[in-house]
Structures are given as structure tokens and as C-alpha cells.
């Protein structure tokens, strides 16, 4: 009878073969466990970061639009002062509304500056809009000093003196909103690219883990078969 080929592994004692097999399985379990843990932690961190960035971008765009809306209301209240200011109560009402809208625009622009700075977004237009809005307030107040409630013609003269001064800030805010939207879209594309790159890396690592598992299983099967062969035959 021909003898089966004798491998070097079969020269090792059964005890050591079992120890080696168990050690390999333990190492595989640890590697797979650590990989899974790292993948979960990184995925959660990436998801959390993406959610925060998305919220920051959305809040920045909303805040920019709110500053835009309230500035339009501020301008409208200025027109209401000139149109209805001959009535003292209406003058005070619209002047207060004008001041309230001016304050809201200041607050939204200041908040927007903090938001974009915290999100590491460079939007130079915000500082320019804040400066222009401040100057605009001074111009409106200086013009209002010439307004006389008893003289309807003074409203026309005051209106002419400030006509069109709101266009510069309107253009600044429009440009600011557009810039923030562009930056938000760019940041979103960058986030998607990073996510795709990491997914490709996870695929490569997954194939490597699968290879280790298959290799471990095959080695285990081979080891079990070799151990069974070396066991003494059972007595009847």
C-alpha cells in the first residue's frame, strides 16, 4: 500500500496543532472585531459631522435670507414714514417699525458672520454688508432730520435725497446669499467625495477580511482533518 504524503504540519503534536488553530481563530476574531468597531466609529463620526455641516449650511442660508427679507421690510417702513408721517401716531409707529427691522438686520448679519466663521466658510461679503448697512442707517437718520410733518413737500425732498441708497446693500446681500449657497454646494460635493473614497477603502478592507476568514476556515478544516487522521482508531 502507498503511504499518504506526510506534511511538516503533521509532525507537530496534536496539542500544539489545536493551540495554533485556536490562536489563529482568536486573532481573526480580534481583527474582524476591531475592524468592525473602527468602521462603526468612523461611520458615526462622519455621519455626525455631515449632519452638523448640513445644519450649519442650512442655517447660514436661512439667516442670510432673513437678513434680506428684513432689510426689504426696513426700506418699506422708511417709505411708510414718508408717506404717512404727517400723522404723528403713524410717524411714531413706522419709525419704531423701521428701527426694529434695522435691529433685526444687524442681528441676522452678526449671527451669519459667527455661523460662517464657525463653519470655516470665508464670506467677505458679510463684513461689507454690515458696514454698508451701518452707513445706510446714518444716511436715513440724517435725511429724516429734514422731514417736516406739517409740510407734505418735505417728504418728496427727503425721498429724493436718499433715493436709491438701498441698492448697494441689496446687491451686497444678494451677492452674499449667492456666495453662501455656492460654498454650501461645494462643501456638500467635498463631503460626498470623501464619503465615496472612504467607502472604497472599506471595500478593500472588507475583501481582505473575507480573505482572512476564508483562509482561516480552510486552515481550520485542514487542521481538523489532520488531527482526526492522527487520532488512534476506536476499539470495538
Select the more confidently predicted residue: 188 or 64.
64
Residue 30 has pLDDT above 50, yes or no: yes
Summarize pLDDT for 160-189 with one digit per residue, the tens: 888 888 888 888 888 888 887 887 777 777
Helix (H) or strand (E) holding 195: helix 166-230
Burial degree of 71 (CB within 10 A; 0-12, 13-18, 19+): buried
More confident residue, 66 or 39: 66
The residue with cell 446714518 is 138
pLDDT for res 2: 43
199 exposure class (CB count in 10 Å sphere: 0-12, 13-18, 19+): exposed
Cα 107–Cα 186–Cα 46 angle in degrees, nearest 5: 90
Query: Among residues of the chain, what percentage have pLDDT more than 90?
Result: 20
151 confidence band (pLDDT: 50, 70, 90): confident
Confidence of residue 98 (pLDDT cuts 50, 70, 90): very high
Of 47 and 112, which is predicted with more confidence? 112
Q: Which residue has the higher pLDDT, 135 or 57?
A: 135
Return the C-alpha cell found at 121. 466658510
On the question of pLDDT at 80 being above 90, the answer is yes
Q: Give the three-state DSSP class for 3.
A: coil
Least reliable range by pLDDT among 30-39, 95-104, 106-115 = 30-39
Query: Read out DSSP for 7-41?
Result: PSGGGS-HHHHHHHHHHHHHHHHHHHHHHHHHHHH
Q: Yes or no: say if 78 and 140 are a contact pair by the CB < 8 Å rule.
A: yes
Question: Is the pLDDT assigned to residue 1 strictly greater than 50?
Answer: no
**Angstrom distance (rounded) from CA 142 to CA 88:** 19
pTM of the model: 0.64
Average pLDDT, the chain: 79
Question: Which of 3-12, 16-25, 30-39, 118-127 shows the lowest mean pLDDT across its residues?
Answer: 3-12
Kindly tell me the sign of the dihedral angle through the C-alpha atoms of 78, 84, 88, 93: negative
Amino acid at each position: 500500500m502507498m503511504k499518504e504524503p506526510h506534511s511538516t504540519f503533521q509532525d507537530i503534536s496534536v496539542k500544539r496543532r489545536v493551540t495554533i488553530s485556536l490562536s489563529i481563530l482568536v486573532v481573526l476574531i480580534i481583527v474582524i472585531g476591531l475592524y468592525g468597531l473602527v468602521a462603526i466609529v468612523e461611520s458615526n463620526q462622519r455621519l455626525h459631522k455631515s449632519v452638523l455641516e448640513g445644519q450649519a449650511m442650512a442655517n447660514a442660508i436661512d439667516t442670510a435670507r432673513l437678513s434680506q427679507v428684513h432689510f426689504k421690510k426696513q426700506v418699506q417702513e422708511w417709505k411708510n414714514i414718508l408717506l404717512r408721517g404727517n400723522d404723528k401716531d403713524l410717524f411714531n409707529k413706522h419709525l419704531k417699525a423701521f428701527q426694529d427691522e434695522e435691529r433685526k438686520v444687524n442681528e441676522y448679519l452678526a449671527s451669519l458672520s459667527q455661523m460662517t466663521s464657525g463653519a470655516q466658510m470665508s464670506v467677505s461679503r458679510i463684513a461689507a454688508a454690515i458696514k454698508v448697512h451701518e452707513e445706510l442707517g446714518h444716511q436715513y437718520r440724517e435725511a429724516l432730520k429734514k422731514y417736516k410733518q406739517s409740510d407734505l413737500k418735505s417728504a418728496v425732498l427727503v425721498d429724493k435725497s436718499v433715493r436709491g441708497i438701498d441698492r448697494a446693500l441689496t446687491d451686497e446681500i444678494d451677492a452674499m446669499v449667492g456666495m453662501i449657497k455656492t460654498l454650501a454646494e461645494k462643501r456638500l460635493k467635498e463631503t460626498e467625495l470623501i464619503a465615496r473614497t472612504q467607502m472604497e477603502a472599506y471595500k478593500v478592507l472588507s475583501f481582505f477580511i473575507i480573505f482572512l476568514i476564508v483562509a482561516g476556515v480552510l486552515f481550520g478544516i485542514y487542521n481538523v482533518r489532520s488531527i482526526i487522521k492522527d487520532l488512534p482508531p476506536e476499539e470495538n
